Amino acid sequence: MSTLKVDSLVEKTSGNGVHIPGHVIQVVDTSNSNQIEYTGVNYIDTSTTATITPKFSTSKILVLHSAGGIFLNHDTEGNHSGNSALLQLKRNGVATNFNQSRWMYHASGYWTGINWSFSYVDTPSTTSALTYLITIGKDQSSGNIRYNDHDSTISGSPRLATLTLMEIAQ
C-alpha cells in the first residue's frame, strides 16, 4: 500500500476546483432574526433564504435549517382533527420534495412550542444559482403560528433562524 503526503492541493486548470466524492466543496450560511406571525391557511414565505451556485452538476446540496416558533389556540384538547403547522422548502421559487407538518392539539388560549428545524439532501443537477427559501403555514384557519418567535416569556424560544447550504461532491 502506498501513502501520498502533500502540503497542499492545487487545481490543474484554474476554476475547475478539486473534486473529491463525498467531500464538502463549499458552504453558504445565513441567519435572520425576523419574526413571522401567520393566521392564514396554506403557506407564507419567511425571510430565511440563501443562495448557492454549485461547482458541479453532479453535486448534492445538504440543506440544514434551524428555527423555533410557537402555536396559539390552534385546536381544542381532545379534538383530533389533524390540525397542523406546515413547513416547506422552496428552490428557485418552486416547492421541493421536502414538506413536513407538525401536528398538535392543546387547550384553547395556550401557546405550544414548535421546532422548525430539519435537514434535507437535494439533487438539483445544475451549476446555475440555487436560491432556497423556507415557507411555513397551517392547514386550518383557526389559531396562529409564529416562526422565529421573539416571545421572551416562552422558555427556550429561539430568536435566530439559520439556513446552511453545503455542496457535496459526488
Cα end-to-end distance, the chain, whole Å? 25
What single string gives the DSSP state of each residue in 87-102? EEEEETTEEEEEEEEE
pTM (global) more than 0.75: yes
d(CA 155, CA 152) in angstroms, rounded, equals: 7
d(CA 34, CA 159) in angstroms, rounded, equals: 8
- Give yes or no for a contact between 6 and 139, defined as CB atoms under 8 angstroms apart: no
**CATH code at 24-168:** 2.60.120.1340
Task: Decide which of 132 and 80 is more confident.
Answer: 132
Question: Over 90: is that where the pLDDT of 153 sits?
Answer: no
pLDDT in tens, 14-51: 766 677 889 999 999 999 989 898 888 889 999 999 99
Q: Please report, for the chain, the start and end positions of each structural domain, with discontinuous segments joined by +.
A: 24-168
Task: Decide which of 78 and 61 is more confident.
Answer: 61
pLDDT in tens, 96-118: 988 887 766 655 666 777 888 99
pLDDT in tens, 77-97: 555 454 678 899 999 999 998
Name 69's Cβ contacts closer than 8 Å, sequence gap at least 6. Answer: 85, 113, 114, 116, 136, 145, 146, 147, 148, 149
Q: What pLDDT is attached to residue 59?
A: 97
Conformation bin of residue 106: beta by default, left when phi > 0, alpha when psi is -120 to 50: beta
- Give yes or no for a contact between 45 and 132, defined as CB atoms under 8 angstroms apart: no
Q: What pLDDT is attached to residue 111?
A: 73
Provide, rounded to the nearest whole percent, the portion of the chain with pLDDT above 90.
45
